[in-house]
Chain A
């Protein structure tokens, strides 16, 4: 059961924005709701364009970082979203201490939260996120806030008339800002898309207009997000997605705006949607994508992707784990290499164990290499980042260690030992104290 819960929770790449489709009555204000509640008074911090509020004392840990990250994202988004910045206000970011209070304030039922894995919402132009403190493996909360901020910006341009597929497509396109300026699908997502395309099971444009989380299976919901992103990307090449949003605002019609943008009649566009537009998308055909195209099962999360690896590899990984637990690190490493070499999917937990085994047998360089490849494939694997930071710090590369810790921090800030490690580095290098951006984005 935990696997299910974990898979839903940690699927940080899935942003189920149920709230977008539901018309809510006025929601209680964050301050009012938490006044006289168990967690303590509401605290607030502000930057030039954002105001972050939280109530659980421990959530203060991420407050400064939220502001720094969002300001940096806003700066890089400014060029495209200029039209959204017509108001002189501060976007409110609210960090909810637990799922229960999030459910009460948002009006979305608790079981719906659990079923869809919702961790963030944008309602009444308030960016609401669940504190990453609630999840053992955290989630990419900073990226999630940016994703929500894109919804906010779209609504600043056009409060109505924007279909969910465009909202989600655009939000996914820009969620990687300020670091990743181009949206990228993961091998598993490409695999799902390719598998469904081959089986002629892609979703029509008509279907994409329905609420994503209400799809029959989580796999289909994921497919809807993928197609929304791919379609938004295609439209961006036609007239630009922001222009399309403006068209929709002005014409108050999805159909007219799409016709204006593509120069095609709606009926024709709808007919071409699956065979031509989706059909012509180039899928990177590496081993891993091919594997997922064959076998993908949507409840998989980063960790449970290991389950999809070949049975033989899984067995070797299991034996490697046994060797590891017996302190036979060298043999464990040999066995895990065998498992990884034979599997198209290389789960981060396997690689982390290999890295530790290598480090324990004195192969530091090799260990670091394994970890780097892990974070390359799974950039949201906080544990791997933490291990990289430990190795860098051991070699006295403090700046690099700090960057790795930041990467871990932006996924699982409450991971055991992370705060202490950051504090330790801050003491060694005081100038790191308020640095919440990676080196290439430092101002």
Chain B
């Protein structure tokens, strides 16, 4: 184990080592700071001179690098210990600082000797001089033990380094460039501006510095001899920024402020900078209506091939792109586009063709872009009415009307239950809004019928308080509502019977094909089958979409919606089945395909029944309409007329036979034969009499049915007028006379009566038709205030007020006036801006 003296010396040596290291680091740092300071001075003053301007930082870096190099070199050269001096230096320092050695000068160097010994031999041989010397000193160790301290110079050195650091930071502050106080005359004649977008070019400007944010500004740098020229910029009263100018003084506009130019010794006066934000482009689209330009209008367009429009756009800097957009149901279509613009203002007039447009509500607008922003003009809303659009409008109008009448039904039902007429009924009836766009035959008649019904309800129930009439009115309103709902259905899908019959034919065709397939007469994968399938799919899709529009009763809303959506998202099951069959055919699985085909046909037959049942209901409701009843009645009369004519022919034949028999002379030999012929003739007369009676009954039933259907209807008195009833009585009476004639074998008399019947039936048919035409005409006249079919129409449904229109007209007139060429642009621009306000 090392001796106590050895350990002591080791520790003191470490301390000494640390003090030395600290001393050398401080000296190295001082050297580095000295170079840095020098660099600062040189770089700062170099900025004043044109020769060095712009290389300040480089110069500083050179000096900093040199400082690091010099400090490192010095450190490398002066710091380090030789092993031989390891203990010796420590011992020498202890001797120097220990009071024991100061008071015993003769002992000086004893410790150094011991250190030298221990350096060579950590454990000297026992009994030797070295061991004895070490032992002697160890005994005195407590007398000279001391912990060595750093020399006072070290503290001075540290202070010097700290002062250097502070000095550098102060120099940095001192050497900051400031706006010089000396003023030197200078005037900015012109400058260049580059707008903030990619392809923008430098444009020369004469007046004060102004521009939109992010634009670049530059001007020729004034010459200051050997001194460097600088640009001084202050934005929004912030710190002055100093930028060295080369050929140009150049900067980016961010905020308004001021600038000056000069050397670091003297500068020009301060000049203002005006920065504005980029404004979005402005755009407006006008409908050209004769001399007028109509902005932001809502138009109803019917049977028109084109519209004339004028588009105006402008931007504070420059327009880049312009396009006219048509939008419907969030889908946009570009009608025209200009993508290479650089003008500040744009105006164009164009004709927009409507030929390819389908019905619906469109928005037309201008989309204008400058280099930064884009904007859209107020749209022109165009309700383009084609047949489809008009039908949809009619349906909506009808639906709204039915909705109002449903509430009237509600009032009537509740009135009946309460035994008194509800007070709300009166206001509800008087507030019904009847549509004026139902210029179709049936809906127009329907509206007229509802109007009359409303009047009757008002008189009988609201004013007359005839509660006992409530059941009749409820029945009538119910009938009208059902009829109205069926009308909507008819409007929406047209004649569903056609689709149904087409599907039925298709099924029958497939059925026949299946029979042939079974009999082996045809190949399963024939093209014919494929064609049949395609046709069937088409029919199915058509029919199912129509059937889905059928008026529905209560629906189940409480479902597993996820499954429902899944089902809807899948193709319809029958269509899927067809696809399955086609797939199986492709795979060559004919046997299964055949079975599937059979199953499919079975299901189609069920579908037919299903549709038929729904249609029956719908058809019955439609037939409840007075108009339809009249049509049906007329058909029945036509049918009766036909039958009557056939009976007439038979009667005439019988008359010929009768006359022939009467002409025969009495022949006793042929008595039996003649009697037989007479008997046959009588039987024929009897048969025809029965036929006539049947026709009479049929006629009466038909009249009665018609009567029942019209009961309570607005048109009852018209269709069942006194004259009509007289005519019908005439038919009935002639039929009875004809029957009587036939019973009495008076063929001629019967023929005369039958001719009367035929004529009266024909007359009755004509009457029905005429009445319907009259009603229709009246209804159409009532609806004539609405749309006029077939005529070109442009109706401005909504636009700015008349005063505004007048103002625009004046502005436009002023704008059209010519002024001097040089003012023309600003003149037009002024009025355009006015227009856009």
Q: Which A residues fall within an 8 A CB radius of B?
A: 1-5, 109-112, 114-115, 132-138, 216-218, 297, 299, 303-304, 306-307, 311, 314-324, 326, 328, 330-332, 334-336, 347, 349-350, 352-353, 382-383, 386-387, 412, 414-417
Inside 8 A of B49's CB, which chain A residues have their CB?
Answer: none
In this complex, what residue of A is CB-closest to B579? Answer: A111
Assess whether B413 is interfacial by the CB under 8 Å rule: yes
A-B contact pairs, 9 of them (CB 8 A): A112-B599, A217-B602, A218-B606, A299-B609, A307-B613, A317-B553, A318-B551, A323-B413, A349-B553
Known: A328-B406, A386-B558. 14 other contacts (CB 8 A): A2-B548, A4-B610, A115-B596, A135-B563, A218-B606, A316-B478, A317-B553, A322-B481, A328-B410, A330-B414, A347-B554, A349-B556, A383-B557, A383-B558
Give the residues in chain B near A414, CB-CB below 8 Å: 560, 562-563
Determine the distance from Cα of A110 to Cα of B592 in the docked complex, in whole angstroms: 11
Name which residue of chain A comes closest to B580, CB basis.
A111
B478-A328 in contact (CB<8A): no
Given A318-B553, A323-B406, A111-B596 contact (CB < 8 Å): yes
Task: Name the segment of B36-44, B566-574, B699-707 touching the other chain.
Answer: B566-574
Bound-state CA distance A416–B592 (Å) is 38
- Contact A353–B559 (Cβ < 8 Å): no
What chain A residues lie within 8 Å of B614 (beta carbons)? 307
A111–B580 CA distance with the chains assembled, in angstroms: 7
Q: Do B561 and A109 touch across chains, with their CB atoms under 8 A apart?
A: no
CB <8 Å contact, B554 and A323: no
Residue of B nearest to A134 (CB): B563
Q: Is the CB of B574 within 8 A of A136?
A: no
Q: How far is the CA of A63 from the CA of B410 in the complex (A)?
A: 48
Give Cα distance in the complex from A317 to B566, angstroms.
Answer: 29
B577 & A133 in contact (Cβ 8 Å cutoff) = no
Assembly CA distance A217 to B414 (angstroms): 46
A247 to chain B: closest CB distance in Å?
A: 35
How distant is A321 from chain B, measured CB to nearest CB, in Å? 5
Give the docked Cα–Cα distance between A162 and B439 (Å): 70
- What residues of B have a CB within 8 angstroms of the CB of A322 in the complex? 402, 406, 481, 485
Provide the residues of chain A in CB contact with B554, threshold 8 Å: 317, 320-321, 324, 336, 347, 349-350, 352-353
**How far apart sit A252 and B114, CA to CA, in the bound complex (Å)?**
124
Contact B572 A2 (CB under 8 A): yes
A319: which of B481, B556, B610 is its contact (CB, 8 Å)? B481
Interface size class on chain B is 35 or more
Q: How far is the CB of B582 from chain A (nearest CB, A)?
A: 11
Q: By the criterion CB–CB under 8 Å, are A1 and B573 in contact?
A: yes
Q: Are A134 and B566 in contact (CB under 8 A)?
A: yes
Tell me the minimal C-beta distance from A95 to chain B in angstroms: 15
A417–B544 Cα gap in the complex (Å)?
30
B599 with A136: CB separation less than 8 A: no
A306 lies within 8 A of B553 (CB): yes
3 shortest A-B CB distances, which residue pairs? A331-B410, A328-B410, A383-B558
- B residues within 8 A CB of A110? 576, 580
- Cross-interface CB contact of B576 among A114, A217, A297, cutoff 8 Å: A114
Contact partner of B409 (CB less than 8 A), chosen from A109, A135, A319, A330, is A319
Nearest-CB distance from B835 to chain A (Å)? 48
Chain B residues near A (Cβ < 8 Å): 402-403, 406-407, 409-411, 413-414, 416-417, 478, 481-482, 485, 540, 544, 548, 551-564, 566-567, 572-577, 580-581, 592, 595-596, 599-600, 602-603, 606-607, 609-610, 613-614, 616-617, 620-621
* Chain A nearest Cβ from B616, distance in angstroms: 8
Question: A416 touches which one: B553, B560, B617 (CB < 8 A)?
Answer: B560
Q: Cβ of A315 and Cβ of B572 under 8 Å apart?
A: no
* B411: A residues at CB distance < 8 A: 331
| Shortest distance between the CB of B598 and any CB in chain A (Å) | 9
Closest to A135 in B: B563
Pair B560/A133 contact, Cβ less than 8 Å: yes
User: Which has the most chain A C-beta neighbours within 10 Å: B410, B414, B580, B599?
Assistant: B410
Q: Judging by beta carbons under 8 Å apart, are A111 and B576 in contact?
A: yes
Chain B residues with CB below 8 A from A132, complex form: 560
The residue in chain A whose Cβ has the minimal distance to the Cβ of B599 is A115
B573 touches A5 (CB 8 A): yes
Give chain A nearest CB distance to B63 CB in angstroms. 72
Closest to A3 in B: B610
Complex contacts, A304 vs chain B, CB 8 Å: 610
Using Cβ atoms and an 8 Å threshold, which residues of chain B touch A387? 558
Contacting pair A331 B553 (CB below 8 A): no
Q: Which residue of B lies closest to A313 (CB)?
A: B553
Please name the residue on chain A nearest to B548 by beta carbon. A2
Q: Is the CB of B602 within 8 A of A415?
A: no
Residues of B within 8 A of A317 (CB): 553-554
Tell me if B553 and A350 are in contact (CB < 8 A): yes
Kindly provide the distance from the CB of A132 to the nearest chain B CB, expressed in whole angstroms: 8
**Do residues A2 and B621 form an inter-chain contact, with CB atoms below 8 A?**
no
Whether A299 pairs with B610 at a CB distance below 8 angstroms is yes
Partner of A111, one of B416, B572, B599, B609: B599
Closest to B559 in A: A136
B573 contacts A4, CB within 8 Å?
yes
Q: Whole-angstrom distance between the alpha carbons of A163 and B485 in the complex? A: 52
Q: How far is the CB of B472 from chain A (nearest CB, A)?
A: 15
Nearest residue, chain A, Cβ from B558? A383
Complex: A109 Cα to B567 Cα, angstroms: 19
A282 to chain B, nearest CB (A): 31
- Give the chain A neighbours of B481 by CB distance below 8 A: 319, 322
| B574–A4 touching, CB < 8 Å | yes
Give Cα A114 to B579, complex, Å. 13
Bound complex: CA of A266 vs CA of B559, how far in Å?
Answer: 49
Distance in angstroms between the alpha carbons of A299 and B573 in the assembled complex: 15
Task: Please determine whether A323 and B482 come into contact, CB atoms closer than 8 angstroms.
Answer: no
Q: Which of A315, A320, A416, A417: most chain B CB closer than 10 A?
A: A315
The distance in angstroms between the C-alpha atoms of A417 and B562, with both chains bound, is 12
- Assess the A4–B607 pair: CB atoms within 8 A: yes
Check if A303 sits within 8 Å of B556, measured CB to CB.
yes
> Are B577 and A136 in contact, with the CB atoms below 8 A?
no
Please, which residues of chain B bring their CB within 8 A of the CB of A216? 602
- Whether A334 pairs with B553 at a CB distance below 8 angstroms is no
Q: Determine if A383 and B606 form an interchain contact, defined as CB atoms under 8 angstroms apart.
A: no
Residue of chain A at shortest CB distance from B565: A136
Q: Which residue of B lies closest to A334 (CB)?
A: B413
Nearest chain-B residue to A385 (Cβ)? B558
Query: A314 with B577: in contact, given A319-B482, A414-B563, A415-B558 (CB under 8 Å)?
Result: no
B402: chain A residues at CB < 8 Å are 322
Closest to B592 in A: A109
Contact between A326 and B406 (Cβ–Cβ < 8 Å)?
A: yes
Inter-chain contacts of A111 with B (CB < 8 A):
576-577, 580-581, 596, 599-600
* B482 near A416: Cβ-Cβ < 8 Å: no
Which of B574, B592, B620 meets A1, CB within 8 Å?
Answer: B574
